[in-house]
Amino acid sequence: MAEMGRQSVVLKYNNEDVENETLRSQYCNDTAPSVPNSSTPDVRSVLVTSVLNLEKLDTDLYRGKHYWIPSTQRLFGGEIISQALGAASETVTGQLSVHSLHCYFVRPGDPSVPVLYQVERTRDGRSFSVRSVKAIQHDKPILMCQASFHAHQPSPLAHQYTMPTVPPPEDLLTMEELVQQYASDHNLAERDRRALNKVLDPEVPLEIKPVNMPAFSRRIAIEPRKLLWVRAKGHIGEGDMRQHCCVAAYVSDYSFLGTAVLPYADFKPQFSASLDHAMWFHNSFRTDEWMLYEIDSSWAGHSRGLVHGRLWRQDGVLAASSAQEGLLRMVPSESKL
Ligand SMILES: CCC(=O)SCCNC(=O)CCNC(=O)[C@H](O)C(C)(C)COP(=O)(O)OP(=O)(O)OC[C@H]1O[C@@H](n2cnc3c(N)ncnc32)[C@H](O)[C@@H]1OP(=O)(O)O
């Protein structure tokens, strides 16, 4: 696997601005050529048909159902964020696009009942609209989310980091193939073989191709950094950018917080949960096409860890950024807990 170095800040000016603007307008006009999702070309993504298919119960009140439930038997944070953003988006009219969201997970989500999303229209201005969404179960909030929408405003400012140089997804194995390859080692300890079953649940509605070999056995401490190609399983289409932002919110919480524990081979999380999650959307993108998710962790301490993500389009345009703090209560790796 390729060794990835730290990337540097590259400011793009003049001609490259024009190039960025051309790319942006290509995607905003939905004219960019699309690469079909080869594994399931005709099947629509369940993220669209199920997770984001919210039921409208009343004015500004929506109900979401669940799809993939993690082994923790708590709702997946990404599902709740994506549905909350979906509910907020339903109440915003006109040409405004979501540019950021900020969420707190205040209670664990219960998979046995649906989630209600109550939207408050916090403000509608000339160029920004802000929505506050309360996700509710058993009459209590489980997530508080604020999302802000912005009308497109051209600007001479345009810079971004450079996308890390990594092998293209076509040259990499899927997570399933990597697991199979690893499991074919006859010397693999039974404990490690059992742990493999938890690595990738086939119900997860995402396709993943890790750039660096995942630390399946967790005996080796590595730097808190991950690079993975990711896309929604199934077809979504060029259509609605708001839908792609909701799917990106789902994607952004997957495999995120675990990055903070990579340097600690002697400890494992006894209890972990996302505490908050923020996202910023920069440029148009398609979540049914491969995107590079670059994750690192800048800090851990006091039973918490901080992770940062950048979601890149395959053509090197920075699509979105994310950040999350999570609770990480660790115990020694050998502990039975
Ligand atoms: C991919 C990752 C994800 O998507 S995670 C899913 C999204 N995030 C979430 O569901 C988190 C939702 N938020 C929460 O569950 C709560 O806000 C959390 C973070 C748990 C709040 O923690 P806390 O205030 O400690 O809650 P609590 O008193 O109800 O206890 C919860 C469990 O933790 C334990 N606990 C408590 N204090 C300690 C402590 N100091 N040391 C060790 N354990 C502690 C409690 O006993 C309780 O455990 P249990 O549930 O009874 O087994």
What percent of the chain is modeled with pLDDT above 90? 73
- The pLDDT tens digits of the residues spanning 15-72 come to 233 233 322 232 222 223 344 454 555 699 999 999 999 999 999 999 999 999 999 9
CA distance 245 to 229: 17
Q: Where do the DSSP E strands lie in 74-205?
A: 97-105, 115-124, 128-137, 140-150
Q: Would you give the DSSP letter of residue 179? A: H
Q: Is-catalytic flag, 324?
A: yes
Is the pLDDT confidence value at 9 over 70? no
Q: DSSP of 25-87, one letter per residue?
A: HHHHTT-S-----TTSSSSBPHIIIIIT-PEEEETTEEEE------TTSS--HHHHHHHHHHH
Closest atom, ligand 1, to C-alpha of 273: 5
Is the pLDDT confidence value at 187 over 80? no
Report residue 290 as tokens.
């491969």
pLDDT of residue 284: 96
Quickly tell me which residue has 């979401």 as its tokens: 64
Residue among 206, 261, 275 whose CB has most ligand 1 atoms within 8 A, to mutate:
275
Is the pLDDT confidence value at 12 over 50? no
Other C-beta atoms within 10 Å of 45: how many? Answer: 24
Report the chain's mean pLDDT, rounded to a whole number. Answer: 86
Quickly tell me which residue has 């405004």 as its tokens: 96
- The pLDDT tens digits of the residues spanning 212-263 come to 877 776 678 999 999 999 999 999 998 789 999 999 999 999 999 999 999 9
- The pLDDT tens digits of the residues spanning 139-185 come to 999 999 999 999 999 999 999 999 999 999 999 999 889 888 888 88
Closest atom, ligand 1, to C-alpha of 75: 6
Residue among 103, 105, 329 whose CB has most ligand 1 atoms within 8 A, to mutate:
105
Quickly tell me which residue has 């696009």 as its tokens: 97
Question: What is the value of pTM for the model shown?
Answer: 0.88
pLDDT of residue 192: 74
CA distance 269 to 330: 4
Q: Would you give the DSSP letter of residue 15? A: H
Please name the amino acid found at residue 108. Answer: P
144 lines ligand 1 (CB under 6 A): no
Nearest of 244, 252, 282 to residue 12 by alpha carbon: 282
Report residue 193 as tokens.
């073989």
